[in-house]
């Protein structure tokens, strides 16, 4: 199995934005590699496939294609929902996907850094 690192897509058990409906959802790891330690929690932004066009200023489009050959391995149009920040543990992770390209990841990190704490 792949290791958690910044920019990696994970499938992890997380709640919806209202704090309910816990299920396995995709997310992008936003914690820095130096912040990710074995058996410690880390942060992801959830990935959404239901969004308006054009996406909001807090949603970053992710590369995808129906064959799953994009670097992200996503098969549907999707966005990183930067306002949906979730803390997950390694035990919450059910699978790993692809990797977000550097330019797209930098945009995600820029938006997350601007969010109020």
Model confidence pLDDT, tens digit, residues 79-102: 999 999 999 998 999 999 999 999
Fold topology of 8-114: SH3 type barrels. (2.30.30)
Kindly tell me the burial class for residue 47, based on how many C-beta atoms sit within 10 Å of its own C-beta (0-12, 13-18, 19 or more).
buried
Say if pTM beats, i.e. exceeds, 0.75.
Answer: yes
Model confidence pLDDT, tens digit, residues 15-34: 988 888 899 999 999 999 98
Domain boundaries of the chain, sorted by first residue: 8-114
């Amino acid at each position: 199995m792949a290791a958690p690192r910044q920019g990696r897509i994970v499938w992890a058990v997380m709640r919806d934005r209202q704090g309910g409906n816990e299920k396995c959802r995709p997310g992008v790891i936003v914690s820095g590699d130096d912040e990710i330690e074995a058996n410690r929690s880390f942060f992801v932004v959830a990935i959404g496939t239901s969004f308006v066009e054009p996406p909001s200023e807090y949603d970053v489009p992710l590369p995808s294609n129906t064959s799953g050959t994009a670097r992200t391995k996503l098969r549907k149009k999707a966005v990183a929902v930067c306002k949906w920040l979730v803390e997950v543990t390694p035990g919450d992770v059910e699978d790993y996907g692809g990797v977000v390209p550097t330019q797209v990841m930098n945009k995600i990190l820029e938006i997350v850094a601007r969010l109020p704490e």
